[in-house]
Amino acid sequence: MEYASFLRQHIEQIVTLSDDEFELVLSYFKPKEVAKKEYLIKAGQKVTSEFLVIEGLLKTFLFDEKGKEHIIQFAMENWWISDYPAYAQQNSGEMCVQALENCIVLELSLKDKIQLCETLPKMYRFYGQKSFGGYVSLQKRVLSMMKNSSKEKYELLLNQYPQLFQRASKTMIAHYLGVSRETLSRLHKRYFLYLE
Amino acid sequence: MEYASFLRQHIEQIVTLSDDEFELVLSYFKPKEVAKKEYLIKAGQKVTSEFLVIEGLLKTFLFDEKGKEHIIQFAMENWWISDYPAYAQQNSGEMCVQALENCIVLELSLKDKIQLCETLPKMYRFYGQKSFGGYVSLQKRVLSMMKNSSKEKYELLLNQYPQLFQRASKTMIAHYLGVSRETLSRLHKRYFLYLE
């Protein structure tokens, strides 16, 4: 199965697994196909799982009271996605997770994750490192939101994730950066004029 | 020693330790006194450690090109603080960590943290859970920065950390929330008029 070797590579970037250990790990994950525009999580629904992206692109977002969309997270191949504040509480949340392309994801519930780690403690190391990496990335994002101009925010994202600019719409990138669609278009023209 | 029992309680919120295990853990931490206004980390200096706050209040901050201060993190008792983007790279960073009160902290280098976890793997679980908690808090902060009004941001912080409003100056809370000093004063008057 294609996703099995993907998962093994993903985990072995951090911890090495024997074949038996990997079989055990694999048994906890549920593969899932999600069609473009389909929802993996809907606001108000209890969130018990997170998802590793094998193929495709998704977003976690919400609409505020004024009907404005805010994208808290994108996820493509090798990224994890959920409504994390809700998942951490195993409760219903205010955000949605939606596929922006046809996707294949691997689902892991928090309950299974805990059981897997208890059975195979080296997985604590894997999740610890992943969470710490995520924490540091978010600190950088908060810092960028606080001090950077729209142009600097745009450039930072473009340098970090050039792929995203080929796969997500300009509107979505604007909703992720927290800049207006007009500002985004202006910046986009500056960088992509000769490519389109 | 006072800080020893503090550290044990702090860790045992997540993992239980035998006396021998705790002695091992303790041997990796270096206690440090930091006087009010003193710097624990200066911008441009190599960052190899993080710090657990036993007593006191600190901030991680930087000045942007216009000389405006941005506070990325406060830390009081039971919180960890560093310039995390720099610490993750074991490199020099752009942020400073400064004491806002006379503080006692416990220092742990990344090198020692890795060695401690290798020797006592249950510490991976401790750090994993801490990092995951930090990740979820930062997602909530990003969401609040994106969608909340100044008033909502203020109320959220006040509900989460009422202590902070007694211990940090209004200017600092403004620099953490990313709102102007004037807005902060206006909000502050609304909530604290009868208390001052």
Superfamily of B2-122 according to CATH: Jelly Rolls (2.60.120.10)
Cα–Cα distance measured from residue A119 to residue A112, given in angstroms and rounded to the nearest whole number: 10
Cα–Cα distance measured from residue A127 to residue A192, given in angstroms and rounded to the nearest whole number: 37
3 state SS of B122: helix
Q: Which residue of A has its CA nearest to B128?
A: A128
Helix runs in chain B, H state only = 2-12, 19-27, 84-89, 110-119, 122-147, 150-160, 162-167, 170-177, 181-192
- Asked if pLDDT for residue B127 goes beyond 70, the answer is yes
In this prediction, residue A195 has a pLDDT band, given cuts at 50, 70 and 90, of low
Q: What is the DSSP letter of B110?
A: H
Cα–Cα distance measured from residue B184 to residue B170, given in angstroms and rounded to the nearest whole number: 7
- Asked if pLDDT for residue A194 goes beyond 70, the answer is no
Q: What is the pLDDT of residue A190?
A: 83
In this prediction, residue A192 has a pLDDT band, given cuts at 50, 70 and 90, of confident
Cα–Cα distance measured from residue B144 to residue A178, given in angstroms and rounded to the nearest whole number: 12
Q: What is the pLDDT of residue A1?
A: 54
Q: What is the pLDDT of residue B125?
A: 96
Which residues, at least 6 apart from B148, have a Cβ–Cβ distance to it below 8 Å? B156
Share above pLDDT 70 across residues of chain B, in percent, rounded to a whole number: 97
Cβ contacts (< 8 Å) between B142 and chain A: which residues?
72, 138, 141-142, 145
Best residue in B147, B172, B180 to probe A by mutation, most A CBs within 10 Å?
A: B147
Is B25 in contact with B116 (CB distance < 8 Å)? yes
Average pLDDT over residues A115-122: 96
In this prediction, residue B196 has a pLDDT band, given cuts at 50, 70 and 90, of very low
Q: What is the pLDDT of residue A20?
A: 98
Domain A2-121 fold is: Jelly Rolls (2.60.120)
**Across the interface, which of A127, A135, A147 has its CB nearest the CB of B138?**
A135
Closest to B129 in 3D by CA, of A124, A29, A25:
A124
Q: What is the pLDDT of residue A196?
A: 46
Is A32 in contact with A105 (CB distance < 8 Å)? yes
| Minimal C-alpha gap between A189 and chain B (Å) | 25
pLDDT tens-digit profile of B89-111? 999 999 999 999 999 999 999 99
3 state SS of B148: coil
Q: What is the pLDDT of residue A146?
A: 94
Average pLDDT over residues A53-68: 96
Phi-psi map region of B90: left, alpha, beta (phi>0 left; psi -120 to 50 alpha): left
pLDDT, averaged across chain B: 95
B73: exposed, middle or buried (Cβ count in 10 Å: 0-12, 13-18, 19+): buried
| Minimal C-alpha gap between A118 and chain B (Å) | 10
Question: A194 — phi, psi (to 5°)?
Answer: -90, -5
Which residues, at least 6 apart from B21, have a Cβ–Cβ distance to it below 8 Å? B120, B122
Q: What is the pLDDT of residue B26?
A: 98
Cα–Cα distance measured from residue A98 to residue A143, given in angstroms and rounded to the nearest whole number: 27
Closest to A1 in 3D by CA, of A27, A20, A35:
A27
Cβ contacts (< 8 Å) between A124 and chain B: which residues?
121, 124-125, 128
Average pLDDT over residues B167-178: 95
State the amino acid at position A67 in one-letter form: G
Share above pLDDT 70 across residues of chain A, in percent, rounded to a whole number: 97
Closest to B93 in 3D by CA, of A3, A44, A140:
A140
Is B78 in contact with B132 (CB distance < 8 Å)? no
| Minimal C-alpha gap between B196 and chain A (Å) | 30
Write the ipTM.
0.94
- Asked if pLDDT for residue B192 goes beyond 90, the answer is no
Closest to A178 in 3D by CA, of A58, A59, A68:
A68
Q: What is the pLDDT of residue A188?
A: 86
Cα–Cα distance measured from residue A183 to residue A81, given in angstroms and rounded to the nearest whole number: 28
Average pLDDT over residues B2-23: 97
Cα–Cα distance measured from residue A130 to residue A136, given in angstroms and rounded to the nearest whole number: 10
Average pLDDT over residues B120-128: 96
pLDDT tens-digit profile of B78-91? 999 999 999 999 99
In this prediction, residue B194 has a pLDDT band, given cuts at 50, 70 and 90, of low
Which residues, at least 6 apart from A81, have a Cβ–Cβ distance to it below 8 Å? A40, A50, A51, A53, A58, A60, A73, A75, A97, A105
- Asked if pLDDT for residue A104 goes beyond 50, the answer is yes
Cβ contacts (< 8 Å) between A70 and chain B: which residues?
143, 146-147
Query: Which residues of chain A approach chain B closer than 8 Å at the C-beta?
Result: 62, 64, 68, 70, 72-73, 84-85, 88, 117, 121-122, 124-125, 127-128, 131-136, 138-143, 145-147, 178
HEC sequence for chain A: CHHHHHHHHHHHCCCCCCHHHHHHHHHCCEEEEECCCCEEECCCCECCEEEEEEECCEEEEEECCCCCEEEEEEECCCCEECCHHHHHHCCECCCEEEECCCEEEEEEEHHHHHHHHHHCCHHHHHHHHHHHHHHHHHHHHHHHHHHCCHHHHHHHHHHHCHHHHHHCCHHHHHHHHCCCHHHHHHHHHHHHCCCC
**Across the interface, which of A117, A125, A138 has its CB nearest the CB of B135?**
A138
Average pLDDT over residues B126-135: 96
